[in-house]
């Protein structure tokens, strides 16, 4: 699926954190098992956060809140999969580190959204087609929501080697974040659920920061040999 036509200027530029003196540590210190544990912990923390949030009203099956939780869960799941591939196979330490960050944060958000659905006594899948909760007419194309990679692109990422892993991951994740922010903006425009607004705004802020970091890493990967 092609990425949405949203341009970089639609989003705030945020400077990437430094890689030393309090910034991100190199991702290579983590093992694959450690990353898996981090992802599971993030998921559990997301569940716990959702369980601790009081619910005064419960959105219905066809509500914006339920649709957002279901669709963003599927959207996040692909981001986690791409990030795990990049963590295992990317060449640049900075790319491996941002992959760790994305995998853990988005798995935690999946946990929170799935907890919402359980607290609302709603199915994880629901009866409405994907994206039907969005009033702006956004459509699913070939089963994919905005910004999601096609099966062919995912296969190419899995098969890539060397610096090509970095380059493909950065491009796919940049487009993925643009699509995700489009979905988040739609939810923020249409919901008055305080917890959904809080989590969605946090998602947007994080992904806007990562868009800037991903763009910087794209320039770095373009100059790398391989």
What are the two backbone dihedrals, phi and then psi, of residue 10, each rounded to the nearest 5 degrees? -75, -15
Ranges of each domain in the chain: 8-223
pTM: 0.76
* % of the chain surpassing 70 pLDDT: 74
More confident residue, 73 or 47: 73
Please tell me the predicted confidence (pLDDT) of residue 42: 63
Binned at pLDDT 50, 70 and 90, residue 11 comes out as: very low
Q: Which two tokens stand for residue 24?
A: 């991100």
Q: For residues 64 and 192, is the Cβ–Cβ distance under 8 A?
A: no
Domain 8-223: give its CATH superfamily: Ferritin, core subunit, four-helix bundle (1.20.1260.10)
Of 7-11, 73-77, 111-115, 130-134, the one with minimum mean pLDDT is 7-11
**Would you tell me how many other CB atoms lie within 10 Å of the CB of residue 151?**
11
Contacts of 222 (CB under 8 A, 6+ apart): 167
Best CA proximity match to 157, nearest among 140, 174, 169: 169
What's the token pair of residue 176? 């993925």
Report pLDDT for 143: 87
Maximum Cα interatomic distance, the chain, rounded to a whole number of Å: 56
Residue 96: per-residue pLDDT: 98
* Average pLDDT value for residue range 134-152: 88
pLDDT over 60 (residue 23): no
pLDDT beyond 50 at 9: no
Query: Residues 6 or more apart from 112 whose CB is under 8 A from it?
Result: 46, 47, 49, 50, 199
Cα 149 from chain centroid (whole Å): 12
Angle at 145 between CA 199 and CA 67, to 5 degrees: 50
Distance (Å) of CA 211 to CA 111, 127, 172, 173, 180:
23, 33, 11, 9, 11
Per-residue confidence (pLDDT) for residue 62, from 0 to 100:
94
């Amino acid at each position: 699926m092609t990425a949405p036509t949203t341009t970089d200027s639609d989003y705030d530029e945020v400077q990437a954190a430094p890689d030393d003196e309090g910034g991100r540590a190199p991702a290579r210190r983590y093992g694959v098992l450690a990353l898996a544990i981090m992802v599971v912990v993030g998921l559990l923390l997301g569940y716990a956060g959702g369980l601790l949030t009081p619910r005064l009203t419960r959105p219905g099956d066809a509500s914006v809140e339920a649709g957002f939780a279901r669709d963003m869960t599927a959207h996040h799941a692909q981001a986690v999969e791409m990030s795990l591939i990049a963590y295992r196979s990317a060449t640049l330490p900075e790319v491996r580190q941002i992959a760790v960050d994305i995998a853990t944060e988005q798995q935690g958000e999946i946990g929170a959204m799935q907890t919402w659905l359980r607290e609302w006594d709603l199915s994880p899948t629901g009866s409405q087609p994907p994206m039907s909760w969005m009033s702006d007419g956004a459509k699913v194309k070939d089963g994919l929501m905005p910004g999601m990679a096609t099966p062919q692109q995912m296969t190419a990422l899995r098969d890539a080697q060397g610096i090509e892993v970095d380059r493909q991951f950065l491009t796919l994740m940049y487009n993925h974040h643009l699509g995700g922010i489009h979905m988040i903006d739609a939810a923020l425009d249409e919901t008055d659920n305080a917890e959904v607004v809080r989590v969605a705004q946090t998602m947007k802020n994080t992904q806007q920061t990562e868009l800037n970091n991903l763009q910087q890493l794209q320039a770095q990967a373009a100059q790398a040999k391989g």
